[in-house]
Structure 1
Amino acid sequence: MRIALWQTPHPAAGDVAAALRRLEEAAARAAAQGAQWLVTPEMALTGYLIAPERLAELAEPADGPLAQAVAALARRHRLGIAYGWPERHPDGAKPWNAVQAIGPDGHRLAVHRKVHLFGAADRERFTAGEALAAPFEWGGWRIGLLICFDVEQPAAVRALARQGAQLILAPTANMIPYDDAPCLTLPRLAAESRVAIAYANACGAEGDTRYGGLSTLVGLRGQVLAQAGRGPALLIADIPD
């Protein structure tokens, strides 16, 4: 399995059109290098720590215009895409912090809503998800989805592994100074559960918050297969069978 991790700053002021253009560029580059899946950061298409009211305005259902745009992009480049966006809550509550996996044929495969919200900033903007999404089958692999603080929870990683997951795709917006997550926690949890983890982090800043980069691909035995630096990057690496 060849994975591309797109390490990028969040779009300015919720500029979704600019984010989609940049995603198109990243997908074209990833596909040209033989990647089968592209993983974006958490909230990559709208911005993350923007005003809660603006975030709620940008929220869409899982089959909304953003999903349709990503599906078209996936079909065009024959590339699976796991992307982060705010999912509209049907009851009018705060949106969910969500990741959706869309296959190379443009079909929606799974949605996960972040269960473990991190701090007041998350709680101010989002409704917590109630359960982990079940892994989905693709290309002979069983693939799970988690988001940022979720993938740091041993119980969450173990639960997906017990359901047969061999790979977890994890959009992330991990902040400086929490480098222990990609450098220590992920290798340990991957080794314990015998599951690979594709962790795509943001970089740059939103207001006073600086994101740490260090997007990381961890193998089934906890080995770090590839890791980005602090700045923008398209990290592409293979997970051995």
Structure 2
Amino acid sequence: MAPLRIALHQGPGGVPRSTDDSLAALADAAHRAAASGARLLLTAELYLTGYALGDALPEHAEPADGPGARAIAAIAAEHGLAIAYGYPERDGERIFNSVQLIDSDGTRLANYRKAHLFGEYENAHFTPGDEPVVQAELDGVRIGMLICYDVEFPEAVRAHALAGTELLLVPTALMRPYEIVAQTLVPARAWESQLYIAYANRTGPEGDFHFAGLSCLAAPDGTARARAGTGPDLVVGDADPRLLTASRAENTYLGDRRPELYRSLATAPAD
């Protein structure tokens, strides 16, 4: 099976002036990604609206099939590549921090709601999702999705590995001074759970936050096959199913587990 080429869109920095600005930047990134041979473009967390919306968040949230989704479906179809993008999703009175995957023909493939909310800001404005593993097939590769803080929980990534995820998409809004997550933890997650992780971050100051950049495509051998800097960037890398198969044969973490010994970990009280 041929490698799946993925582009990570880091930026633009700062709060977008409007959703139209985000869509224009995405169309440009899609054009460049397609020219590089990418079949999939991943944006950062809450890409469509910006992260630091505060109390204005409800007026920018939209349903999964809303106008933003329709506009991105048109961009995907125009450039012939799938797009996974972060956005605030409205469902009735609830607002979720979500990522949606749209196929290269504009079909909506999957939608995931962030389960682990980070800090006071997110807990004050979002409802946590409760579906741990959301997957879709793209070019024969099983795709899974998490968002930012989710990937910092080994249980969340391992659940994907056990469900057969081969490429885990993680739009993120990683802030300074937590660069260790992008530099060390994400490649370690790819190694210990034997899958690819595409991690696309925001960059620069936005409201009270300063985002770290450092987007990466981490491989199951623990290396970063693509790595962005700290400013706006578009980086491209290949998720190779053959390398994944070989890596899983050599690194047998998944087969060597003894889950009967770990049952108490899911119910142990936090001190």
Normalization by structure 2: what TM-score? 0.85
1:177 Cα deviation from its structure 2 partner: 0.6
1:4-45 deviations in Å (ceiling 9; x for gaps)? 000003563651011101100000000011001100000011
Q: Which structure 1 residue ranges, 5 or more long, are not aligned?
A: none
Q: Would the alpha carbon gap of residues 10 and 124 (structure 1) be closer, same or farther in structure 2, given more than 3 Å must change? A: farther
Residue 259 (structure 2) aligns with: none
Contact kept, 8 Å, 2:27 with 2:75, in 1: the verdict is yes
1:166-207 deviations in Å (ceiling 9; x for gaps)? 000110000011011111111111111111000000001112
Contact kept, 8 Å, 1:11 with 1:19, in 2: the verdict is no
Contact kept, 8 Å, 1:30 with 1:38, in 2: the verdict is yes
Query: Is 2:47 the counterpart of 1:44?
Result: yes
Q: How does 1:132-211 map to 2 (within 5 A)?
A: 132-211=132-211
Q: How does 1:124-135 map to 2 (within 5 A)?
A: 124-135=124-135
Q: Would the alpha carbon gap of residues 110 and 76 (structure 1) be closer, same or farther in structure 2, given more than 3 Å must change? A: same
Query: Is 2:118 the counterpart of 1:118?
Result: yes
Question: Which range moved further: 34-43 or 179-188?
Answer: 179-188
Query: Is 2:84 the counterpart of 1:82?
Result: yes
CA distance in 2: counterparts of 1:194 and 1:61, whole angstroms: 34
Residue 26 (structure 2) aligns with: 23
Q: Would the alpha carbon gap of residues 213 and 188 (structure 1) be closer, same or farther in structure 2, given more than 3 Å must change? A: same
Residue 66 (structure 2) aligns with: 64
CA distance in 2: counterparts of 1:64 and 1:111, whole angstroms: 13
CA distance in 2: counterparts of 1:10 and 1:224, whole angstroms: 23
CA distance in 2: counterparts of 1:125 and 1:139, whole angstroms: 36
Question: Which range moved further: 229-238 or 10-19?
Answer: 10-19
Normalization by structure 1: what TM-score? 0.96
1:37-75 deviations in Å (ceiling 9; x for gaps)? 1000000110111122x1111111111110000001100
Q: Which structure 2 residue ranges, 5 or more long, are not aligned?
A: 242-271
Paired residue secondary structure (1:161): helix
Q: How many residues align?
A: 238
Paired residue secondary structure (2:91): coil
CA distance in 1: counterparts of 2:156 and 2:69, whole angstroms: 26
CA distance in 2: counterparts of 1:81 and 1:35, whole angstroms: 10
Residue 239 (structure 2) aligns with: 239
Contact kept, 8 Å, 1:14 with 1:50, in 2: the verdict is no
Paired residue secondary structure (1:105): coil
Return the letter of the residue paired with 2:29: A
1:107-131 deviations in Å (ceiling 9; x for gaps)? 1111000000000011121111112
CA distance in 2: counterparts of 1:14 and 1:150, whole angstroms: 28
User: Looking at CA atoms only, which structure, 1 or 2, has the larger radius of gyration?
Assistant: 2
Contact kept, 8 Å, 1:60 with 1:86, in 2: the verdict is yes
1:240 Cα deviation from its structure 2 partner: 2.6
CA RMSD of aligned residues (A): 1.2
